[in-house]
Structure 1
């Protein structure tokens, strides 16, 4: 084939010389290609579209790529050719007008090319070429869409992909037999489409690709998947229902290729299973329900599901529960609940109705009447496994005592909270009124969500004093009312307690239940308590009037006062306050030796003198009789004793002499031994404990 190409070019040259020899005679431009007009080029190589011409000297030539001029030049001219700016690196015109492509790219240059030659006074001459740029075919692979061929799907496509190359010819084969487009197959530019694939389309598919510079053959094996078929579900032992604690197994099987896998689901749970067999041991009621078997072909992801329902019977959990509620504070609604169980329990109130019943939750509504107040109503709960019951009693509100609390809000208002709670069934509804007007929630009044608490807010305590508020607790069976009369700050009880040494006292007090109190001033009259001034000196002296030494909030009911002198007299009182408004002071409590004898002390002394004289007389008589009795005993006959006893002499272990006791009287205690102050000696005398007895032997 190479020598044929060389011969063609030689003929073209001879024809050009011959045409040039007769140029003057013909006076006509003649252009002809040198070689074939269909030129195949390998990307990256140099290729030339060769031409020859006769009939004129130095004609003007133009190369067109399609309809676009890319090179213009006058042969033999010193002016450089006019080449398209984007193609200067690839296109080059030869001295005789031929067009050369340098390192021709794969894309952008496959096209039809036209060579035009013109000369003034002569007709234009034209010739054409077709250039196709190829690349060697490499690394061809076959792909499928979708990934697997599945029986029953509409389409299955095989298409090829390659690393590089330009395909000029393709051929598809199935089991080495060429495939042509028909009702089953469609051959497209780069793919083969199988319509409605089935099991018979399983086999080997081949694609053959070719261009002028290379050819490639590639194979792929295709397996058409099918199934899963309709599954078979079976529970053993076969029973219409199962009892709690039974053991059973459920199986799931189906045909398909490849063999599908089975998986059991129960709601959101995945029970333990093996090869599509679900084993249930000690089955419980929460395992009853719909079990779903899902069959999956792993490669195709085809799924098929089928359900089986398992019934497990068991009694409802716990015991029935009864309650009664209010409907619009007019009617009574009786409830009975026994949730759970399979099947659900049948509930009824035989004492209220013989015709009505319900399951799991049942209620009956009746007009409130006196015969229902305090009446016990029983709910009967019937279940195949067990019969049970519960009872409820409706009652009107009981008597109650309101509770009053006082505090100060963050914005400086006095907040009085009144709480009313009455025991009742159904729960009592609480309402509030002031006088004859209903209390409505707003800026001054705030009512809790369950209406049991009323909060009253104001800056001035006088707006609380002498106000009457009424709380009413009611249900369909009756009501209870209580009035609350708010008072100003006051003290109802005040007490004082001191420690043994008299250096610390504890003050305690109470306030009336409806008194509005936000704080207390603790006041004292008497010597100043130890307290250093700013200069570091000890403050001394005493106050003749009450002075506030501490301030306590309204919730406090006791306070301790320290660093008291037991030998001095102090007086204390408490003043209740509602913000800046003071109430009546409490009674005054005193501690210390006092200032002289009180009237009560004088009266006690006057009454004690005759009693003391009488006691002294009786004491003398008793001493006389004791002495006379001892003297008579000394005159009695004395018998000799053994010499061993004579020699037994027991002496006293202490050096202090014995205090002889006569008449059964105890010696007075030594108060100096206790180191007591004079004020402490006015306290109750300590009990005297006599020394241990000492044996004394006397020699006769």
Structure 2
């Protein structure tokens, strides 16, 4: 079937030929025109001819040009061989009408060809042809440059290649849709360029190749790589902070192709115990708190992204908050202090009653002018820590009434040293000042004041030196003061008691000393028989003394003494003598232990005279009883009478047992040893005393 364009061209040729014959006589002009199509498609290896016709001149010279180069020259009608370029002799030949024939045309002969005919005196004429040589497609493949597509890059290119074939037309498809040249796609010779690729460009790309003799297609799956995207970094369980000892996990993940790998960095070191972006922490401690950085890497694109998070690990401060108050600026101001040390972070401390805006961390103080408003007022310190809230209270108070404590010792020089201790309960702690009479006492040879001013030591040679002066201690803080005058007194014992053990072989003497008494030691004295020898089977005789003798010596700090090896069947007397070095004080009261002292002489005489009378009375009573029984039997041998009241009373009297006075009147309960450790001022209850039983007098009436 002839195409419309070719029919038009053939018609034009016939018209030219007809006109040339019609006007041959009038005009003599050389004309050249194609005898067939001017665009010729040929399959490689086939024979093809570019046909021409001419008129207006006989036997013109024909010259064929390939591109702009002559490849063949010949005179029509000449018997001579055509002049063919050496490289084309195997392919090109000329026909009798000047047409050009290609024998087994190779692919390389695709070109534009021009034929020029010349005749001397008649000028020249020419016409042009296009020869396209095609081959069958074989082994068509698609490839991508660079080897992977990356989102955000400038471009990537799909290029086709084949082992054989000439493309007349290429068509590109993306996921079965045809691609048109645009700002995103550029179709070039044998390639497709994708500009500014995105992840949406991932998919199947197809190229379809056609020519007049063949058709081929191939496709490639393209994945546009991207990521890591914005990562998600979190801790689970999600808490604002963690307490030392808790367990938790840190997670890090981000989208991307391929899936980005994640690693955790802490303190500049990569943590090797993380797996797939998960970092587990068990029994976490404070040192593990801080900034954790997750590093995400796309292994193909080498793109990296980092995100950090802060892990807060807190620890409760140790113990509980403590409050105190002290005086500053020479007792003019009160400084309230609160501290709760340790922990992470430090606790925030404040005194709401003193200020609503001031606070401190771990250790906080506030200073306020001293006034009666604060005397006895409880001030609260609020301690706030993320783990726990706590508090402590402090009450400022003026010095309270107090009693002095006096302790006496003897130094290496043989001097008596009297230490007076004055302490008054107060908050802040009271400062003590000392005076003797109207003069202030200062440190020196005779007087020594402790660093905290609560102790005054007085050095002297004898007791009289101490008894001549009065000392005054004044306790003072910003809220007030207390003053106490102290008059020292000689060695003395205020109260004493004696406590025997159950067997009567050991006694414990206890005593008290007035708070201002000067005492360096005690003599425990006894009157009575000697103590039982430690060897029980000893035949050594024991003497009895009517004078007191010292059996023990105790230091000035002692308040009790135990005496062993007493004979429970004998009587002893004990007392305590206080001493101030070589000066003896008044002895304590005398305590007796043992049975009674016996009967008087008249009592013994009365008992001796009453024994015969008692026997005579018993004989008369027995005869009377016998007579009564005998009479009763005679009246009625079967009758039974009640027993005589006298006899019943006698029987009843014999069965009663009266305890000895010595067992109930002279024994005391054992001492309370815990109470013996108290200061003299703390013992306000009178100690029990030994009371001997009253003497027994026996009188007998005859």
Place the TM-score, normalised by the shorter chain, in its bin. Answer: 0.3 to 0.5
What's the TM-score once normalised by structure 1's chain length? 0.43
If you compute each CA radius of gyration, which structure gives the higher value, 1 or 2? 2
